[in-house]
């Protein structure tokens, strides 16, 4: 399986215009780096979910549990492109040919 890396910088919501560089790896990892502060975060896409424009990291908690370890809200200008890139991380289902069913003769 070939792994590819996509690097994009997105503007985050808020007044100060904070930007974060996202590195999307097709194996499922998302790496986030804030150039101004040097802060770095990393998560697997299975532990992330999108709600409106907000990326929520739950570390594998299910939707019924209302706890997030961190959340980032992407600016309205960038959200469409952000969601397109995130959709590339979802594994494509591998289609297999189903075996033929055996037909039993009825006596």
The confidence score (pLDDT) of residue 59 equals: 77
pTM of the model: 0.70
Q: What is the pLDDT of residues 44-98, one digit of tens each?
A: 888 888 888 898 888 766 666 667 788 899 998 898 998 888 887 665 555 566 6
b/e per residue, 11-35, with b = 16+ CB within 10 A? bbbeeeeeebebebbbebebebbee
Tokens 């040919």 belong to residue: 97
């Amino acid at each position: 399986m070939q792994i590819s890396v996509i690097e994009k910088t997105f503007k985050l919501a808020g007044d100060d215009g904070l930007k974060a560089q996202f590195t999307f790896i097709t194996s499922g990892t998302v790496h986030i780096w804030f150039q101004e502060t040097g802060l770095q975060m990393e998560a697997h896409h299975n532990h992330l979910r999108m709600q409106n424009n907000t990326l929520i990291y739950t570390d594998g908690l299910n939707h019924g549990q209302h706890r997030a370890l961190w959340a980032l809200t992407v600016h309205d200008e960038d959200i469409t492109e952000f969601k397109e890139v995130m959709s590339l991380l979802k594994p494509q289902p591998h289609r297999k040919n189903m075996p033929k069913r055996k037909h039993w003769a009825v006596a």
